[in-house]
Structure 1
């Protein structure tokens, strides 16, 4: 009899453990009712030595209240940019940017460039982004100072782009000219267009999807537009 009781006791304990694990798993799934995709609730990355979770705000009543909630701006200068910003430069969306951050930026093979002026970048940017304002790319005397950061080497007076990094550039949104100007300047400089990608949605679309942003100063995480 004791053996039978022990046998059933063990089975009951196993059942309880399994139930707890299953309940925890279900709770974890319910925690992210607003995922990145149907299969991916979030993506974890490292940013300046800290772990950051790229996810969306779970409050389904949340709305934009910042400057990015505006629908109309004077054109010119804030005109709608085309989907194809330059020949052989691919336009990408949010999921491609997230995958790029996770794989290429984290490994050092690629750079996510916030091409906005520093006052915009200092307020808020995408996780993993570095700030190279478009005016630097448009100034021949300045761009030569940062080409090594892009993986470009100067040999015998000529620039070698064979090890050039893959670049994703963005700015404020589809109405902003800062990253398009930077992209065109890079191509004029000789950077291979096949290694340049344009995130046209920029900050406005990133925030519209309530994706995680970071505050470079003082490097805190802002989960939503204020």
Structure 2
């Protein structure tokens, strides 16, 4: 039986083709690069070719203090799939090809995003979605922002009379933040599930930006 990794590679190969540019640092043995759409423009994601490259300074720290920067579990919520770089690339390329049912969400605050993000992702800061420990928003404005995000960004529908949400047409969301020590996207996943978002439509890139840059994948700055 083929391993899941081989299956992913085979699917990606069919999606992206076998054309190779002269390079010595592919994403996988069969994948040279992946085209995605970022802010209306095509961006080609590759791996860097500088064998002496190091992590950006912001991702070199190992001690960050817990809480809040605690190591996140592999599966934060039952039913929510944890994904890696190849799956994220697959989702991004599907969006590039016109699939509007998917959104890759950078859950970090804008000050972090300005330092670099995954091409093709959409920044929706974690604190625009996250509720307090009681499961509520502090102000009506925060609640209104959350409703706007659910409806206009994620494609959910709210019954104006009952206030109940329908997620039948909602997008599949792939959430990430800074990495395995960052709780922001985990908090958002918990809030979305509490509001009824189907777990099969939620994916979590646990490695986040730290893993993305650690393997030399392309980033962009807004």
Are residues 1:114 and 2:123 paired? no
Query: Which residue, out of 81, 93, 97, partners 1:102?
Result: 93
> Which residue of structure 1 aligns with residue 10 of structure 2?
none
How far the C-alpha of 1:146 sits from its partner, in A, is 1.2
Alignment correspondent of 2:158: 154
Superposition deviation, residue 86 in structure 1: 0.5
Alignment of 1:1-226 (within 5 A): 29=20, 31-104=22-95, 106-139=98-131, 140=137, 141=143, 142-148=145-151, 149-155=153-159, 156-157=161-162, 158-216=164-222
TM-score by structure 2 length? 0.80
Deviation at 1:68, TM superposition (A): 0.7
Instruction: Give per-residue Cα distances to partners, 1:55-99, cap 9 Å, x unaligned.
Output: 000112211142112222222221110100101000000010000
CA RMSD of aligned residues (A): 1.6
CA displacement at 1:31 relative to structure 2: 2.5
Cα displacement string for residues 156-191 of structure 1 (whole angstroms, at most 9, x for unaligned residues): 432111111000000001000100001101001111
Mark the structure with the bigger radius of gyration.
1
Q: Unmatched 5+ residue regions in structure 1?
A: 1-27, 217-226
1:36 to partner: Cα distance: 0.6
**Cα distance, 1:143 vs. partner?**
1.2
The alpha carbon displacement at 1:49 in A equals: 2.2
Equivalent residue number for residue 4 of structure 1: none
What is the aligned residue count?
189
Give the TM-score taking structure 1 as reference length.
0.79
Indicate the SS of the match to 1:213. Answer: coil
Equivalent-residue separation in structure 1 for 2:156 and 2:179 (angstroms)? 28
Q: Shift in Å at residue 152 of structure 1? A: 0.4
Higher helix share goes to which structure? Answer: 1
Provide the rounded CA distance (Å) in 2 between the counterparts of 1:168 and 1:117: 17
